């Protein structure tokens, strides 16, 4: 691509705090940025930008006015509003939460605009795919993804949205459930005890959007080789058939085997392989956002590997001592950025539960027929 890659991050992100016991620690963003800088992944020709707080008019393209007023009031007064999801253990009320959320939306908005110019862009602080029009959900107060995608549609783009977060992209699915201009593809853990409880195989879209919403529910302990097989069966053919104007990826990494909130079993090898495949296969505009990931050492390692591939730079395996000092305190004493052993590249079997799910999606998606 002619235009240089763009990395979006603000040091302001780590000024905010969900609370001491909350699993979403914003320091993980700085840890990832520091690691990327160590490997030279943020040096020219990579460009850097800091997000600005988005205006309320833009937020109203998805969120209800009453919710925005309540979110602002909860921030200013420190008052919970349970009916709108504000003040519970997932979505605590904390100082600056409205400002933080507007920064996140601003970063994804400007990143998507820049991506449409023909760039690869990563907004590390984005990816809040659970926020509803009038309710905070799943650590998410404002939905940067839906707002940015709506703007892209208004500019005439059609989008392939790929979400690899361990939790289903429920609010994104709902926003575009009847719209064939956004092809939503989600790989996520699914079961009676898994948040948010949506993302069943049969949720295929409605009306003109029927067959343009594809969910691949994953059983507990799904490993690299299993998901890699499914990815190859679905995503490359979809990219070829749909020919989007924008590839938009939510790169949540909470499907990693050591994540404290989920029970999938991926390693850094899967994430690296996926990024390599997309980078080699897709030369058009690519917007990436962060998302879930609650072991901050793994977040930093995986996003660094993926960004390195997006910008075409090899990432050495040895971690710097400055990173290891922190990682040891977090329980990771491995000296390498990649898990050992890494991705094996050999599929010994296709699980009996996954193959029929992939075949079902092929049968019901007009792009895969």
Would you name the residues annotated as active-site residues?
Answer: 130
Query: Residue 314, class by beta-carbon neighbours within 10 Å (0-12 exposed, 13-18 middle, 19+ buried)?
Result: exposed
Q: State the DSSP H helix or E strand holding residue 250, giving kind and residue range, or none if neither.
A: strand 246-250
Cα–Cα distance for residue pair 222/189, rounded to 1 Å:
9
CA distance 182 to 205: 11
Contact (CB, 8 A) for 13 and 55: no
Q: How distant is the alpha carbon of residue 204 from its chain centre?
A: 21
Note whether 32 and 124 are within 8 A (CB): yes
Rounded to whole angstroms, the Cα distance separating 105 from 147 reads 8
| Listed residue (268, 236, 239) closest to 334, CA to CA | 268
What single-letter DSSP state applies at residue 219? -
């Amino acid at each position: 691509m002619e235009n240089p890659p763009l990395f979006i991050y603000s040091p302001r992100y780590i000024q905010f705090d969900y609370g001491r016991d909350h699993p979403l620690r914003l320091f993980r963003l700085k840890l990832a940025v520091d690691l990327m800088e160590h490997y030279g992944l943020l040096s020219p020709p990579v460009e850097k930008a800091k997000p600005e707080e988005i205006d309320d008019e833009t937020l109203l393209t998805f969120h209800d006015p009453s919710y925005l007023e309540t979110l602002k009031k909860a921030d200013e007064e420190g008052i919970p509003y349970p009916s709108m999801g504000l003040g519970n253990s997932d979505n605590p009320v904390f100082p600056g939460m409205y400002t933080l959320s507007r920064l996140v939306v601003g970063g994804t908005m400007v990143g998507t605009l820049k991506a449409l110019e023909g760039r690869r862009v990563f907004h590390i602080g984005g990816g809040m795919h659970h926020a509803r029009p009038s309710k905070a959900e799943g650590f998410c107060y404002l939905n940067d993804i839906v707002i940015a995608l709506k703007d892209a549609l208004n500019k005439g783009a059609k989008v392939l949205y790929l979400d690899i977060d361990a939790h289903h992209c429920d609010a994104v699915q709902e926003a575009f459930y009847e719209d064939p201009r956004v092809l939503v593809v989600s790989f996520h853990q699914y079961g009676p005890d898994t948040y948010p409880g949506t993302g069943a195989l049969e949720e295929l879209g409605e009306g003109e959007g029927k067959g343009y919403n594809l969910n691949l529910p994953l059983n507990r302990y799904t490993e690299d080789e299993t998901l890699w097989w499914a990815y190859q069966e679905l995503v490359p053919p979809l990219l070829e058939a749909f020919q989007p104007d924008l590839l938009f990826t939510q790169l949540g990494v909470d499907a990693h085997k050591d994540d404290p909130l989920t029970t999938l079993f991926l390693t850094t090898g899967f994430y690296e392989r996926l990024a390599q495949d997309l980078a080699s296969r897709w030369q058009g505009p690519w917007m990436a956002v962060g998302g879930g990931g609650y072991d901050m050492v793994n977040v930093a390692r995986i996003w660094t590997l993926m960004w390195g591939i997006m910008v075409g730079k090899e990432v050495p395996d040895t971690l710097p001592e400055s990173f290891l000092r922190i990682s040891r305190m977090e329980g990771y004493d491995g000296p390498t950025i990649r898990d050992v052993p890494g991705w094996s590249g050999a599929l010994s079997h296709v699980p009996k539960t996954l193959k029929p799910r992939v075949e079902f999606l092929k049968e019901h998606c007009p792009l895969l027929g």
